[in-house]
Structure 1
Amino acid sequence: MSIRRLPEHLVNRIAAGEVVERPASALKEIVENALDAGATRIAIRLSNGGLDRIEVSDDGIGMDSADMALALERHATSKMPDDDAIENVATLGFRGEALPSIASVARLSIDSRRQGGEGWNRTVDNGQLVAEGPAALPPGTRVTIEQLFAKVPARRKFLRSAKAEYAACLDIVRRLAMAHPAVAFAMEHDGRRTLGVQAGDAREERVAALTDRALAENHVIVSLEREGVRLSGVASIPTYNRGVGDHQYLFVNERPVRDRLLIGALRGAYADMLARDRHPVVALFLDVPPLDVDVNVHPAKTEVRFRDPTMIRGMIVSGLRRALDEQGFRAVQNADPAALSAWRAEPVSPTPIGAMPIFDAASVSYNPLASSSFGDRRSSFMTPPPQARAEPAAAPAPEGQSFPLGVARGQVARTYIVAEAEDGLVIVDQHAAHERLTLERMRRAMEGQGVQSQALLLPEVVELEESACDRLEARAAELRDFGLDLERFGPSAMLVRAVPAMLGQSDVQGLVKDLADDLAAYDSALSLKERLDLVAATMACHGSVRAGRVLSVAEMNALLREMEVTPRSGQCNHGRPTWVKLGHGDIEKLFGRK
């Protein structure tokens, strides 16, 4: 087989396949060039999802005719002043392949003018120069791409619908606008304005404007600096989440990336605060010295490689954890307007009020905890489970003290605690709340001398599949640190000798079976720390007070007080909110008073 040189136009089309996959890829390259040119305003116009036309105008430094001709040659760039700059990349685009690659598979027209100079136009149609001459425009650059892949049917037929291609373009612009709050962005699709943000926004305001306005009220600020690396950004509180991970934005040196290391670190930070099928809304920005990160590992520059990936992962996990811990018991507090507007009055119960059980609020023993550190908090809440009972009506609770989660007034459906706060009505899911409190107690115990175990009077045999027994036996030492003492009892059974003391009268059979199922699902995919967190969360769920359990007012208030001083108590171990609040204004709307 003979070897031959490929013609120039074919080489360019092959290169275009690496850089330009779809309209969004071409748009990304052009907008990045505008940002590197120092633009403060970028206007984007799309037609038919970018399949027919993409136009990007900016007010950057512009080009003269000579620079424009050179920019359309392969491997020509203004962003690497010397040959060693590849090790110290400080711009978004640097390969010098985007413009000639796009011009080889579309009709590309560039109009540009430097400040104080003359405008110039250069048009290339699928690799052939078709027009060149003066152009009238303000200082800056306007790039127009028309009929992408029109003459490359093998590539064109693999593009998706106009709506799907437009969604990909919008996502690209949103990410770039998020990374550059000092730049104004405007985007139109088929003559309709679809995105617009002004220059000078605060970073959290820009993120909220480009994702969801509700994030402005349900986020934490992340800030951490270590060994020359700075982590900053915005993250939603766990109870504000989504069913898909499309609102997770990660940036390295203002470059949008989709890196598996960063996504894994993000998942680890929220591991015990969200269910596996829920995802936070996050925009994280890493500023890393250029010599400590390689951005040249992917043609589209969407992946990076860190010199010290362990340190980067640890920064993300610890930075997010610290920011979320500082929020304490915070949860999504605003009532859903759609839920309020859909409310309808229920039929009046035939049971007379006097026959309904009312809790004795006068028996509440208030014992606010003085210390501000989480580790020093203690609560008498249900160490031995109390007997469920109704209490007689009595005088209301004293109003001398104010608490963020209010004072318990009763229990609804034997599941929800109703408390009165100064600014509204607080409703607490007793099982979800106690589940989080139990998990945090287990963690504090693990940081100390381990979880105390309670020996069973009669060891209990739990029958399981042989593979499940193998998994539990392999993790017996880790489980023993949590106070669960079990051993193999034949090929398909486990013998449980002790359980964690703080779980009280838990369902031993259900606990062991759930632990076996969790290890089967996640054991190979999780690190040791994540496996331990999973074990603690499963145990906490089994050791928590269940829905349907009648609580005394003293127990309800003890639960509220412990929630106020426990980190991450605003959500259970699965990401559901543990409490919601109806403000006085919301209640007045329900009754037509406002």
Structure 2
Amino acid sequence: MGKIKALQTSLANKIAAGEVVERPSSVVKELLENSIDAGATEINVEVQEAGVASIRVVDNGSGIEADDLSLVFHRHATSKLYDDDDLFHIRTLGFRGEALASIASVAKVTLQTSTDGIDGYEVYAEEGAILSQKPAKARQGTDISVTNLFYNTPARLKYIKSLYTELGKVTDIMNRMAMSHPEIRMSLISDGKKILQTNGSGRTNEVMAEIYGMKVARDLLHITGETSDYEIDGYIAKPEHSRSNRHYISLFINGRYIKNFVLNKAVVEGYHTLLTIGRYPIVYLNIKMDPILVDVNVHPTKLEVRLSKEDQLYTLIVEKIREAFQDKVLIPKNDLDKHQPKKVLKQFEQQKMAFEERQQASSTTDDREYKSDDKAQQTPIVNETSNTYTPVSQTEPTPVDDVQHTVSSQNAEASDDYEQYAQAQREVLIDMTTSEALEDETPQSVNESTVQDAPRVPYMEIVGQFHGTYIVAQNDTGMFLIDQHAAQERIKYEYFRDKIGEVTNENQNLLIPLTFNFSKDEQLIIEQSRHELEKVGIFLEPFGGYDYIVNSYPIWFPQEEVEEIIKDLIEYVLEHKTANIAKFREEAAIMMSCKKSIKANHYLTKNDMAQLIDQLREMQDPFTCPHGRPIIINFTNYELERLFKRIQ
């Protein structure tokens, strides 16, 4: 008797479930995809105990016809594929038909559905088989309840993480689905508490405001671009909102959430030198393409995909992200606003009115009450009713406008009326979208000119230097701190980067050649990489044994630092064993700029400080050093007033 036999259906389903249903969030993902494919415009998800006890997904989609109910829980039964060619033109989120069969093999499933909102049916499945089917009252769409997940696979249940972790996974799936389908109203309720609610307006930035908060949403930049094969559309957050991992990079292909190492790398490369090492951006990017260019059938959960012409897409993403930041002011703003929205707006409206009344009264006040007009402009007046101080200044900006733009969604729960607050958020984002302010918005603290060619670094007056490290400057909007080392590092980096990229034969001969000695293993690396050094103008000539000499150097090398620069570049080659000339040039420029810049505790004259800022103003990216650290920090007048308790 032979040893090979077909697996029992129940066993085969459990094995398939091991690939598809890893945890409660896997169930939510599969059911959400089915609802979206059914054309739903509203999807509500409820979970108990993070989905381990129960998961319920209700949609208003097309529903399931009565004749199809017997195949709903049958393995690999689908309405989305008919022949082999369809596999290469997939435009739906689901297509293999294994989801419901896998879920029903490890949980108890109740399905209610109706195609017209009049005649409905209820199906109950367990152990991968339908146990009952009967007519029932059901509204238009499908209502699926999944209970006792992994009740018959205790080994799988054993590896479920804490309920907090599992709920985080469920929320993450909901967030990404909501971002990729903003036209669908979605909600998530956990143990009776609302976690997520979107309005289905079709605006992705509104969904991102709900997920990440208004502070991030205000600093989103819209990017678009296309090639002959790809079209991208998305939102990227300014570098100041970076995170400690790649989890906040959300990539979608034709509306499907995917994970792709190469595309993640492209996003990070687009932020090059704008983020510090170990920090990653918040990005939403939807990529549209002909389905024939992508294979989504290479992973059981369909998260990983295989792309054609990946290099073309990589270049497009990098270019569009860099273009988005070219004309933007990226001076970090301070997070000093933690108010409840209604209370604060009301309070500052009162202060504004009181301020205007005092300002009007002050214009008729006898000059004898003040020592001088200048001093009068700077004298604070006590607000006895609110116990706060309000400075009298003709140019002082009122804080009301600032507050209206610094309320985050995290304060929504503290608000007395969440719905009114959420509506206010949506109205702000709608205004930003329709006026294209979202793409062009710059921090209010900078007070940029509306002229297109205005410098990105605002005009500022030098006040002095702090600890020989930071330049203190000011203008009408507030105070600025400039890291002198980071500023010169950026200036020198852009200079070296451009010069290293110019492959020319313009070299300066040395009267006395420079001699460099290496070990045997170092000589082997040098011999392999000599052509890379030659591409940046360094020509090493063997001089017997393990010695090399250099007879010339590029004319753009600082004469007093020629030997040190050449030595640094050679050491870089020895350390990295590089064979990538583009990467070598980039890293060499960063290395040279760091070593040749002003160090901390180095005191400068006001003229030197002014000259440094003038040079910084001419840079392509004047807000971060090559390592991604900020160069300029801004404290607005309003923030300083709050720090000193002049306002609340």
TM-score, normalisation: structure 1:
0.81
Corresponding residue for 1:104? 105
Distance 1:222 1:62 in 2: 36
Q: Is the 8 A contact 2:542 2:548 kept in 1?
A: yes
Residue 287 of structure 1 and its aligned partner are, at CA, apart by 0.6
1:534 aligns with 2:587: yes
Distance 2:135 2:636 in 1: 64
Matches for 1:257-296 after TM superposition, within 5 Å? 257-296=258-297
Corresponding residue for 2:486? 432
Corresponding residue for 1:319? 320
- Which of the pair has the greater relative contact order for Cα pairs under 8 Å at 6+ separation? 1
In structure 1, list runs of 5 or more residues that go unmatched: 340-400
Q: Deviations over 1:344-397 (max 9, x none)?
A: xxxxxxxxxxxxxxxxxxxxxxxxxxxxxxxxxxxxxxxxxxxxxxxxxxxxxx
Corresponding residue for 1:561? 614
Q: Deviations over 1:174-216 (max 9, x none)?
A: 1111111111221122222222222115223323432353322
TM-score, normalisation: structure 2:
0.74
Matches for 1:67-106 after TM superposition, within 5 Å? 67-80=68-81, 83-106=84-107
Distance 1:402 1:15 in 2: 56
1:420 aligns with 2:421: no
1:584 aligns with 2:585: no
- Pair 560,485 (structure 1): closer, same or farther in 2 beyond 3 Å: farther
Corresponding residue for 2:356? none
- Pair 589,135 (structure 1): closer, same or farther in 2 beyond 3 Å: same
Amino acid at match of 1:331: L
Distance 1:495 1:338 in 2: 61
1:55 aligns with 2:109: no
Matches for 1:94-133 after TM superposition, within 5 Å? 94-133=95-134
Q: Is the 8 A contact 1:461 1:493 kept in 2?
A: yes
Q: Is the 8 A contact 2:118 2:138 kept in 1?
A: no
Distance 2:317 2:80 in 1: 30
Corresponding residue for 2:351? none
Which one of the candidate residues 532, 536, 547 is aligned to 1:478? 532
Amino acid at match of 1:267: V
Matches for 1:185-200 after TM superposition, within 5 Å? 185-200=186-201
Helix, strand or coil for the counterpart of 2:246?
Answer: coil
Q: Is the 8 A contact 2:43 2:57 kept in 1?
A: yes
Distance 2:570 2:475 in 1: 38
Amino acid at match of 1:106: A
1:408 aligns with 2:409: no
- Pair 562,211 (structure 1): closer, same or farther in 2 beyond 3 Å: same
Q: How many residues align?
A: 530
Instruction: Indicate the RMSD between aligned Cα atoms, in angstroms.
Output: 3.1
Residue 535 of structure 1 and its aligned partner are, at CA, apart by 1.9
Distance 1:402 1:248 in 2: 27
Distance 1:561 1:42 in 2: 55
Amino acid at match of 1:64: E
- Pair 30,548 (structure 1): closer, same or farther in 2 beyond 3 Å: same
Helix, strand or coil for the counterpart of 2:232?
Answer: strand
Distance 2:544 2:118 in 1: 87
Distance 1:492 1:273 in 2: 41
Higher helix share: 2
Residue 521 of structure 1 and its aligned partner are, at CA, apart by 5.6
Helix, strand or coil for the counterpart of 1:280?
Answer: coil
Distance 2:566 2:279 in 1: 24
Residue 111 of structure 1 and its aligned partner are, at CA, apart by 1.1
Q: Deviations over 1:325-346 (max 9, x none)?
A: 333xx3243113289xxxxxxx
Amino acid at match of 2:334: A
Distance 1:513 1:192 in 2: 59
Corresponding residue for 2:366? none
Matches for 1:342-361 after TM superposition, within 5 Å? none
Amino acid at match of 2:644: F
Helix, strand or coil for the counterpart of 2:458?
Answer: coil
Q: Deviations over 1:475-529 (max 9, x none)?
A: 44434444556667888887677477455755965984587468646848xx542
Residue 584 of structure 1 and its aligned partner are, at CA, apart by 1.1
Distance 1:232 1:172 in 2: 20
- Pair 143,273 (structure 1): closer, same or farther in 2 beyond 3 Å: same
Distance 2:318 2:598 in 1: 30
Corresponding residue for 1:361? none
Amino acid at match of 2:177: L
Residue 282 of structure 1 and its aligned partner are, at CA, apart by 1.5
1:203 aligns with 2:257: no
Residue 530 of structure 1 and its aligned partner are, at CA, apart by 2.8
- Pair 198,405 (structure 1): closer, same or farther in 2 beyond 3 Å: farther
- Pair 207,466 (structure 1): closer, same or farther in 2 beyond 3 Å: farther
Q: Deviations over 1:228-266 (max 9, x none)?
A: 411121223334322222211111111100012212222
Corresponding residue for 2:215? 214
Q: Is the 8 A contact 1:42 1:57 kept in 2?
A: yes
1:441 aligns with 2:495: yes
State the percentage of identical aligned residues: 32
- Pair 404,129 (structure 1): closer, same or farther in 2 beyond 3 Å: same
- Pair 579,116 (structure 1): closer, same or farther in 2 beyond 3 Å: same
Corresponding residue for 2:425? none
- Pair 335,499 (structure 1): closer, same or farther in 2 beyond 3 Å: farther
Q: Is the 8 A contact 1:48 1:189 kept in 2?
A: yes
Distance 1:543 1:480 in 2: 22
Distance 2:108 2:456 in 1: 69
In structure 2, list runs of 5 or more residues that go unmatched: 339-454
